[in-house]
Amino acid sequence: MYPGVHAANTPDKPAVIMAGSGAVTTYRELDDRSLRLANALRAAGLGEGDVVALLSDNDPRAFEVYWAAVRSGMYITAVNSHLQPDEIAYVVGDSGAGALVVSAALGELAEQVAERIDRPPVMLAFGGAVRGFDDCADVLRTASAEVPAVQPCGLDLLYSSGTTGRPKGIKPELPDRQVHEPGNILVELLRGFFGFDDGTVYLSPAPVYHAAPLRYCAGTHALGGTVVMMEHFEPEAALRAVERYRVTHSQWVPTMFVRMLKLDESVRAGYDLSSHRLAVHAAAPCPIEVKRAMIDWWGPILLEYYASTEGIGMTLIDSSAWLDKPGSVGRSVSGVVHVCDDEGAELPAGEVGAIYFEQEEITFRYLGDEEKTRRSRHPEHEHWATTGDLGYLDEDGFLFLTDRKAFMIISGGVNIYPQEVENELALHPAITDVAVFGVPDAEMGEAVKAVVQPAPGSRPGPELEREIIEHVRARLAHYKAPSSVDFLDELPRTPTGKLVKGELKARYSRSR
């Protein structure tokens, strides 16, 4: 289903409420504006299979753009607004976007992106004027409000960073159905396993460009519930939103748990959370002690899942099962889990290997990277796919993660690939050799650590550390920059020149 169904039955029901301001977008408004935008996109020549890129802060109009694309058989590509202009321009160009829609709150960034791309046919800004973009409000006023006879269902085309440092678009095949027809697997999971329905009030504290917030908010709309979206996450404001809007369902990353747990006990106890029935969490491994503390505080309402942007499968574990299997991410609810060695042979319980999900059909592809697509498939079973995560199954079929895409760093629920940072530092005049990896961090899960072999004549110390960090921050999103830099006389490498990063990572993990 889609908002048009609920606009016909409950037009004045809130589809989106902004947690801080209380601003409401009704289902009537969401349906009308997404319909008009969809018609405007088609009038501009876009059609089924085309791509609409979205650059937005947490603004309810982001969902108007989402549903305009999805009700038109188009792909929606939500772009990380914390990337640098060159990085965003790459995503817009690589996706082949026929439209770029931006929030005026990110106007300066949008203008910088516009200078770096071949302009797509449609360039729109909502919420105010942005140089080089047409006013979305003007377009909606003149666009047709007639519902097309055919509304094919579109999907998201989201980007996940690759080990080469360039993000890769994850492009699924479009479904052969209309937007109002059943068949959305995620929606059925939300209904069947998470208990979402038209009475759901779903709190979304994370940035809307991330896969989970975007998809779960859209799933809430598909089922006729209400999304409460935080402008940005603050620990006490999140508790206030649960109380004020009688939130029933929510989704978090472990870093948010840490920050809420650090609130004074009197603050934590001062909010009525009795409406809160289910707190979903994912995106990063949750420290066992953090999860225990959250269950002690909120009760056994935590539900953890393991999945990926690629959508190849999903595991779930509720609080009761987790207390019996601490550290597990649960058993599969979508796809059969297999754990395999480097050659693809299936491993017995307890042995660590690559995690594959088996489905009747695997349809996603990495846009413009057939080699990466090929590597994601099992060498012998075409319907098994992996994202490169490592783990093991116990005797009862519960999955435990042991690593994430080799040396990928997960900091605050965000994926960071060390190679991208290393590439930016490789030619720095003060650096001879560099390794970047994640080290344990009490709040963020992992922090980005750089270990550098200084070039001859360079003086290691705080000044060079600041220079290296600022060098990265000027070229990549700030969260990718090292939080600290250490200096060694020489980095460990094999006789063939391969960096032995595992040795460094283990050394720093032990010291922490």
Structural domains for the chain: 3-227 (3.40.50.980), 233-306 (3.40.50.980), 328-406 (2.30.38.10), 409-511 (3.30.300.30)
CA distance 113 to 167: 16
In our burial notation (b when 16+ CB lie closer than 10 A, e otherwise), range 429-451 reads ebbebbbbbbbebeebbbbbbbb
Q: Which residue has the higher pLDDT, 364 or 495?
A: 364
Residue with tokens 């609130």: 263
More confident of the two residues 442 and 448: 448
Would you give the DSSP letter of residue 253?
-
Q: Which residues of 132-166 are buried (b: 16+ CB within 10 A; e: fewer)?
A: ebebbeebbeebeeeeeeebbbbbbbbbbbbbebb
Question: What pLDDT, in 10s, does the model give residues 114-125?
Answer: 999 999 999 999
The secondary structure of residue 141, as a DSSP letter, is H
| Closest to 312 (Cα-Cα) out of 330, 329, 337 | 337
139 or 182, which is more confident: 139
What is the value of pTM for the model shown? Answer: 0.82
The span from the CA of 182 to the CA of 201, in Å, is 22
Q: How confident is the model at residue 101 (pLDDT cuts 50, 70, 90)?
A: very high
Residue 421, pLDDT score: 86
Predicted pLDDT at 443? 87
pLDDT of residue 243: 98
Q: Is the pLDDT of residue 497 over 50?
A: no
**Average predicted confidence (pLDDT) for the chain:** 92
Q: What phi and psi values does residue 493 have, to the nearest 5 degrees?
A: -135, 150
pLDDT band for 405, please (50, 70, 90 cuts): low
Instruction: Supply the pLDDT for residue 330.
Output: 97
Query: Which amino acid appears at position 234 of this protein?
Result: E
Measured between alpha carbons, how far is 376 from 386 in angstroms, rounded to an integer?
5
H helices within 98-209, ranges in order? 107-114, 136-142, 185-192
Token pair, residue 184, equals 């959305």
Between the CA of residue 463 and those of 17, 219, 432, 490, what are the distances in Å? 46, 49, 17, 20
**pLDDT at residue 404, rounded to an integer:** 57
Query: Can you tell me the mean pLDDT for 421-432?
Result: 83
Tens of pLDDT along 258-269?
A: 889 889 999 999
Nearest in space to 469 (alpha carbons), one of 511, 502, 428: 428
Mean pLDDT of 208-225: 95
Torsion of CA 443, 448, 453, 459, to 10 degrees: -60
Q: Is the pLDDT of residue 377 over 90?
A: yes
Strand 14-18 with 24-26, pairing:
antiparallel
Type of residue at 242: V
Summarised one tens digit per residue, pLDDT across range 42-61 is 999 999 999 999 999 999 99
Q: Work out the number of other CB atoms within 10 angstroms of the CB of residue 348.
A: 10
| Alpha helices per DSSP H over 269-318 | 288-298
Residue 415 — very low, low, confident or very high, per pLDDT cuts 50/70/90? confident
Q: Rounded mean pLDDT of 23-47?
A: 98
Q: Over pLDDT 70: what percentage of the chain?
A: 96
Q: How far apart are CA 214 and CA 288, in angstroms?
A: 27
What one-letter code names the amino acid at 240? R
Distance between CA atoms of residues 196 and 227, nearest Å: 12
Question: What's the average model confidence in pLDDT over 380-392?
Answer: 91
Q: End-to-end CA distance of the chain: give it in Å, rounded.
A: 49
Please answer whether residues 77 and 155 qualify as being in contact, where contact means their C-beta atoms are separated by less than 8 angstroms: no
Q: Tell me if 209 sits within 8 A of 80, measured CB to CB.
A: yes
Cα separation, 226 vs 200, whole angstroms: 6
The predicted-structure confidence for 152-176, as pLDDT tens digits, reads as follows 999 999 997 543 457 889 999 999 9
Contact at 8 Å (CB) between 84 and 38? no
Residue 286: predicted pLDDT: 78
- Quick one: DSSP state of residue 152? B
User: How many residues are listed for the chain in this entry?
Assistant: 512
Is residue 239 within 8 A of residue 277, CB to CB? The reply is no
Across 452-479, average pLDDT? 93
Closest listed residue to residue 52, CA positions, set 82, 74, 79, 80: 74
Among candidate residues 294, 262, 258, 292, the one with its CA nearest the CA of residue 278: 294
Instruction: Grade residue 290 by pLDDT with cuts at 50, 70 and 90.
Output: confident
- What is the spatial distance between Cα 212 and Cα 256, in angstroms, rounded to a whole number? 15
Question: Whole-angstrom Cα distance, residue 438 to residue 244?
Answer: 38
Which residues lie closer than 8 Å to 427 by C-beta, 6 or more apart?
none
Residue 512: what pLDDT?
A: 56
Q: What share of the chain is helix, strand, coil (3-state, %, to 5)?
A: 30, 25, 40
Mean pLDDT in residue range 183-200 = 92
Q: Residues 225, 202: contact at Cβ < 8 Å?
A: yes
Distance, in Å, from the CA atom of 415 to the CA atom of 96, rounded to the nearest integer, reads 24
Tokens of 479: 């969260």
Q: Which contiguous run of DSSP H or E holds residue 508?
A: helix 501-511
d(CA 362, CA 357): 9
How far is it, in rounded angstroms, from Cα 291 to Cα 330?
Answer: 14
Give percent of the chain with pLDDT exceeding 90.
Answer: 74
| Rounded mean pLDDT, 314-331 | 96
Model pLDDT, residue 146: 96
